[in-house]
Structure 1
Amino acid sequence: MKLVDKFAKAQNDRSLSYSFEYFPPKTELGLANLLDRVTRMSKWEPTFISCTWGAGGSSQERTMAVCSTGQVVNGVETLLHLTCTNMEKESLDEALLKAKDAGIQNILALRGDAPRGHEYWTPIENGFTHAVDLVRYIRQQYGDYFCIGVAGYPEGHMDAESKEDDLLHLKEKIDAGADFILTQLFYNVDTFVNWVATCRSNGITVPIVPGIMPIPTYQNFRRMINLCKTQVPEDILQRLDTIKADDQKVKDYGVSLAVQMIKQLHEKHGICNFHLSTLNLERSTKLILQQLNLISQDTIKKQPSYSKLLASYSTPQDLEHAENWDEFQMAVMVIQDLQVTYGASQSLPTSEASRKWGYPKTVEDITGIFERYILGQLDSLPWSEDRLQTETDAIRQALTEINRRGYWSVGSQPSVNGVPSQDPVFGWGPKGGYVYQKAFLEFFVSPKQLEQILKRFDQDPVVTYYAMNRNGDLRTNVLDQEAQNAVTWGVFPGKEIVQPTLIERANFESWNEEAFGLWTTWEQQYAPDSDTAKLLKQVGDSFWLVNVVHNDYQQVDGLFNMMLA
């Protein structure tokens, strides 16, 4: 069934209609867990589900697996995201044919980004340059069979010369045959409402479905809004700033904010269709729907069992434990290329990159950039959009010297041994608890220095590490590939031990790909033949990313003394 028909029905009935968006996991285990989750969430009767499409078709098989399962197995209408950048026409033909064979009748046509290591959206031979090209092609090849959606940007696409220019491009996509608009995330309702009114005054009459993204964690929220250049009302930022150390409070606020936005848009402005970006997480989506009275507790109880995680669970307490564990397992995969969803780019304008980090021409220049960030003289790095957290003050002097020696840190935490959960620096979670941390450090390093530091690590039995380069070559002293190392945990009254931060091989490998991709992103902000671009490419191609944990959390300075020995 075409989605526009469902949108029209909800609008005519003045009833709330909701849909779910997922992204394709990078591993087969992640895919199996997600398919299990999609099956459970399908019981909540969403209008449709969708799954994003990796840059250049990099996630094609897993995206099709999610969409086909939703359409064929779960009987839920599916919207297949499809990007055309760096995609051969033959690959697009294959994807469209598979979609039709699976009974998928709805396509979200996007420009998308190029895969890592390519210029961001250089067209290839027989390829496509813009989303409008894809819309036209689908219409030429399939007529009216597919219902086609396109992306809309209430705050304007970051690559557009102006909001007016962006609106002209949107109108062009509609005139080419698009049936509806799905928007990028936003947190200012007035911005969305005013943008819709502008669309209507410019002759855009198709349904416009707002994209709603609940806040998962403070850090991921900051990353997302920086990535998408999203403007957030000051009162929301202030509220988040007061609770950022408590992940549960942030999630609860994210749920209440999403509910508030949906109610305001529905009751005040007559918007009836909403698209929830789940980030592959289930609990926040469930709470939003429950608070909107769209699903009941009885609906939740009727869900199928958790096939992998709940086989041996029977009591309600066990069920809640397993659900939370499943939620955590999925949450560790949230750091993904969100720009793939709506065709946004991570790249900064060249002027902004040079303003922030200048024009480094030597390795020593890069060392200076990391050092200034540690000292608070820079407010960001390509791997971190925000200043260092207050807890870094405890190790700032050591970090400064470590970076001066060529170990460029992108992640760290000091050890903590039973600090009260209400501590203003290290505390998190409910009152009356105690929190713990193992010291860890993540850094880039040259091949020569890598050999020296690994020798030190191998001599200390309480140290575990992973090291990997851009090519995926791995060095580690962790023999168990499935090992999970809790580096942050909390003990609270009436609760099981909470472990919000785990380090494991699969997650490190995923982050390694992302981290070296950001070297490429930084490099591409400068002219290809410039000394800066050449240096950044050389460093990205030769350096290693290292994650090291000192597992004796009672030794306050053990890890950092080892780094400086």
Structure 2
Amino acid sequence: MRVADKLRQAAESGAGFFSLEFFPPKTEQGVANLYERIERLARLNPLFVAVTWGAGGSTAQRTVELCSACQGVFGLETVMHLTCTNMDRAMVDEALAGAKAAGVQNILALRGDRPRNQEYQVQANGFAYAADLVRYVRAQYGDYFCIGVAGYPEGHAESDDKEQDFEHFKAKVRAGADFVVSQLVFDPELFVAWERRCRAHGIDVPIVPGVLPVQSYQSFRRLAFLTKVHVPAQLQAQLGDAKANDQAVKDVGVAHAAAAVRALREAGARGVHLTTLNLEASVCRVLHEVGLAPAADPRPLTATAAPALPAALPAGQRRAWDEFPNGRWGDARSPAFGNADAYGAMVRFDTQGASRMWGRPQRTEDVSDLFVRYVRGEVPALPWCDEPLLAESGQIGAELARINGLGYWTVASQPPLDGVPSADPVHGWGPRGGYVYQKAFVECFVPGDRFPPFLSRLQSLPGRITYYAANRRGDFMTNAYSGDDAPAMTALTWGVFPGRGIVQPTLIDKASFLAWRAEAFRAWREWADMFPADSPEHRFLSDTADECWLVNVVDNEFKGPGSIWDMF
């Protein structure tokens, strides 16, 4: 059924509704576990679900497969996002044909973000704006597809002229859009004012406000930075106070999202579009708090078999992903793995800003000096870290400065902990009344000439030291193996709390390490691309990315001071 028709029916009946948004997971096991999650969420009866589309078609196959499962297996009306940036007509035609073959009748037409390391490009026979895509889909398929577009109550993040941005939005709707889903809204009053303006300008298609229940402080900061949406001072302060406690952050996120939904509904919005980040606990809490979740399962599923994929994990571990999402450090089998990087590019600064902050490196000594100044608090960010070091790194700050000065460029680290109270203001996390533990680890880039002797030292302490290493070309090595010689999983952080099993929010294995490796080496290339291609800075950074190794070193002895620093 066309989503626009469903939205109008909901408006006429006066019934409240909600819709949900997912992104294609990075791993096959993440997909399998997302299917189980969607099955449970389907029983809450969303009006529709939406699946995102990666920049330049980077997730095309997985997006179409996920849409097909939502529509055909779980019986959910599905909206497939489709971006046109850096995509030619053949790619768009293939995506539309795949959607139609899967029984998907609804498209959210977007311009989209540029792929990393690429400029915005209008491909041969391609599209410059979302309005071009709307017109093309309408011309090729007539009324078969119900076409939605994105609306930006505060203007698009890349637009300096908000009046012109609104004119572009009107043109997009008039090109043939049937409904609108808004950008994330943290301040309901801004959405209400914008919707009134839309109606005053003759835009009469349904408009659904987008709401995000904040899942973690990291993902919140990431999305707020990328979208540049207004965050109310009270929410900003509450999240800042709670940022060291994952559960407290989620509680703040649920309370704010529920209040936003109530305010939007009181102002006349019949429903909301919830960004899930592939997590379900907070979404379910919000829906129950505002009375949009049914008391019982409203209907059975429309099919009996889910797609064949790797086995999912027990429900208890799935719930742990919701309670303690840790971005790339989480379990690669989680559908939310890597959600901190699910939207947008890694490097967050323009060329001039990056040069002011990071200089113009042409030697390894320049990079070492930059990293030393970062760990000393003299530089606020790096291409891999968009905020200063956390407080707990203060106790290993001297060692971090030393090894960075030696040419081991650290991008992540933590000291060992043995039963620290979960309420500790520096090291604590999770609910009060528990104890937290962690192994010391350091992740760093190692220049190619230093890597062989460094690897030899790592291998000199089998059992004590676990390492994972990879380069940009894809070479990989580790000493973490299970009994069947398959790469094993290593727990980095765990906690014990009253009335709960052991929680392991921070893990590393081959899948998660290699997924991060791809991101980490992209950041080198993005940094290089901020300089002209024929410049010494570009050549140096590109060559460094080609030659260095990313190495994660874990000291499995968490009870003592650790020998991890002896490796450097």
Q: Give the TM-score normalised by structure 2.
A: 0.91
Deviates more, 1:356-365 or 1:169-178: 356-365
Equivalent of 1:324, from 302, 305, 319?
A: 319
Is the contact between residue 30 and residue 336 of structure 2 (CA under 8 Å) also seen in structure 1?
no
Deviation at 1:109, TM superposition (A): 0.9
Per-residue CA deviations over 1:121-145 (Å, capped at 9, x if unaligned) read 2122222222222111111111122
Alpha carbons of structure 1 residues 178 and 531: separation in structure 2 relative to 1, 3 Å: farther
For residues 221 and 215 of structure 1, what CA distance do their matches in structure 2 show?
6
For residues 464 and 42 of structure 1, what CA distance do their matches in structure 2 show?
41
* Equivalent in the alignment of 2:406: 405
SS class of match (1:379)? coil
Q: Which amino acid aligns with 1:476?
A: T
Is the contact between residue 222 and residue 385 of structure 1 (CA under 8 Å) also seen in structure 2?
no
Is the contact between residue 414 and residue 440 of structure 1 (CA under 8 Å) also seen in structure 2?
yes
1:479 lines up with 2:481 in the alignment: yes
Q: Which amino acid aligns with 1:47?
A: L
* Equivalent in the alignment of 1:458: 459
1:468 lines up with 2:466 in the alignment: no
Per-residue CA deviations over 1:304-336 (Å, capped at 9, x if unaligned) read 999999x999xxxx96x3552564752651436
The within-5 A match list for 1:502-517 is 502-517=507-522
Deviation at 1:347, TM superposition (A): 5.1
For residues 222 and 33 of structure 2, what CA distance do their matches in structure 1 show?
25
* Equivalent in the alignment of 1:100: 100
Per-residue CA deviations over 1:18-69 (Å, capped at 9, x if unaligned) read 1111111222222222222222221211111111112222212211111111
* Equivalent in the alignment of 2:418: 417
For residues 530 and 200 of structure 1, what CA distance do their matches in structure 2 show?
51
SS class of match (1:299)? coil
For residues 298 and 333 of structure 1, what CA distance do their matches in structure 2 show?
30
* Equivalent in the alignment of 1:359: 360
Q: Which amino acid aligns with 2:319?
A: N
Deviation at 1:482, TM superposition (A): 5.3
Deviates more, 1:422-431 or 1:407-416: 422-431
* Equivalent in the alignment of 1:183: 182
What percent of counterpart residues are identical?
Answer: 46
1:59 lines up with 2:63 in the alignment: no
Per-residue CA deviations over 1:266-307 (Å, capped at 9, x if unaligned) read 11x111131111111121221111112222454399899999
Deviates more, 1:531-540 or 1:483-492: 531-540
SS class of match (2:72)? helix
Deviation at 1:470, TM superposition (A): 1.7
Deviation at 1:181, TM superposition (A): 1.9
SS class of match (2:334)? helix
* Equivalent in the alignment of 2:328: none
Alpha carbons of structure 1 residues 48 and 347: separation in structure 2 relative to 1, 3 Å: same
For residues 180 and 197 of structure 1, what CA distance do their matches in structure 2 show?
16
* Equivalent in the alignment of 1:488: 493
Alpha carbons of structure 1 residues 270 and 301: separation in structure 2 relative to 1, 3 Å: closer
Is the contact between residue 83 and residue 109 of structure 2 (CA under 8 Å) also seen in structure 1?
yes
The within-5 A match list for 1:239-250 is 239-250=238-249
For residues 252 and 295 of structure 2, what CA distance do their matches in structure 1 show?
21
For residues 210 and 22 of structure 1, what CA distance do their matches in structure 2 show?
16
Per-residue CA deviations over 1:242-288 (Å, capped at 9, x if unaligned) read 22121111112211211111011111x11113111111112122111
Is the contact between residue 516 and residue 540 of structure 1 (CA under 8 Å) also seen in structure 2?
yes
Alpha carbons of structure 1 residues 482 and 51: separation in structure 2 relative to 1, 3 Å: farther
Is the contact between residue 24 and residue 59 of structure 1 (CA under 8 Å) also seen in structure 2?
yes
Per-residue CA deviations over 1:75-119 (Å, capped at 9, x if unaligned) read 2111011111222311211211121222211101112234344x1
SS class of match (2:20)? strand
For residues 454 and 300 of structure 1, what CA distance do their matches in structure 2 show?
58
1:333 lines up with 2:337 in the alignment: yes
For residues 202 and 468 of structure 1, what CA distance do their matches in structure 2 show?
55
Per-residue CA deviations over 1:174-231 (Å, capped at 9, x if unaligned) read 1211222222223222232233333334443322211112111112222222233333
SS class of match (2:19)? strand
Deviation at 1:9, TM superposition (A): 2.0
Is the contact between residue 182 and residue 207 of structure 2 (CA under 8 Å) also seen in structure 1?
yes
For residues 150 and 413 of structure 2, what CA distance do their matches in structure 1 show?
37
Alpha carbons of structure 1 residues 277 and 479: separation in structure 2 relative to 1, 3 Å: same
The within-5 A match list for 1:486-565 is 486-563=491-568
For residues 207 and 359 of structure 2, what CA distance do their matches in structure 1 show?
41
Is the contact between residue 438 and residue 552 of structure 1 (CA under 8 Å) also seen in structure 2?
yes
* Equivalent in the alignment of 1:15: 15
For residues 16 and 32 of structure 1, what CA distance do their matches in structure 2 show?
30
* Equivalent in the alignment of 1:292: 290
1:206 lines up with 2:185 in the alignment: no
For residues 193 and 519 of structure 1, what CA distance do their matches in structure 2 show?
42
Q: Which amino acid aligns with 2:420?
A: V
For residues 358 and 450 of structure 1, what CA distance do their matches in structure 2 show?
26
How many residue pairs get aligned? The number is 552
For residues 301 and 495 of structure 1, what CA distance do their matches in structure 2 show?
32
* Equivalent in the alignment of 1:433: 434
Is the contact between residue 116 and residue 520 of structure 1 (CA under 8 Å) also seen in structure 2?
no
For residues 132 and 312 of structure 1, what CA distance do their matches in structure 2 show?
40
For residues 541 and 259 of structure 1, what CA distance do their matches in structure 2 show?
48
Is the contact between residue 78 and residue 104 of structure 1 (CA under 8 Å) also seen in structure 2?
yes
SS class of match (1:428)? coil
* Equivalent in the alignment of 1:169: 168
Deviates more, 1:250-259 or 1:8-17: 8-17
Deviates more, 1:223-232 or 1:64-73: 223-232
Alpha carbons of structure 1 residues 312 and 465: separation in structure 2 relative to 1, 3 Å: closer
Is the contact between residue 107 and residue 145 of structure 2 (CA under 8 Å) also seen in structure 1?
yes
Q: Which amino acid aligns with 2:211?
A: I
Alpha carbons of structure 1 residues 535 and 156: separation in structure 2 relative to 1, 3 Å: farther
SS class of match (2:297)? helix
SS class of match (1:339)? coil
Is the contact between residue 21 and residue 277 of structure 1 (CA under 8 Å) also seen in structure 2?
yes
For residues 322 and 468 of structure 1, what CA distance do their matches in structure 2 show?
28
SS class of match (2:430)? coil
* Equivalent in the alignment of 1:271: 269
The within-5 A match list for 1:43-54 is 43-54=43-54
SS class of match (1:488)? strand
Q: Which amino acid aligns with 1:177?
A: G
For residues 306 and 500 of structure 1, what CA distance do their matches in structure 2 show?
31
Alpha carbons of structure 1 residues 181 and 421: separation in structure 2 relative to 1, 3 Å: same
* Equivalent in the alignment of 1:32: 32
Is the contact between residue 148 and residue 180 of structure 1 (CA under 8 Å) also seen in structure 2?
yes
* Equivalent in the alignment of 2:142: 143
For residues 542 and 471 of structure 1, what CA distance do their matches in structure 2 show?
9
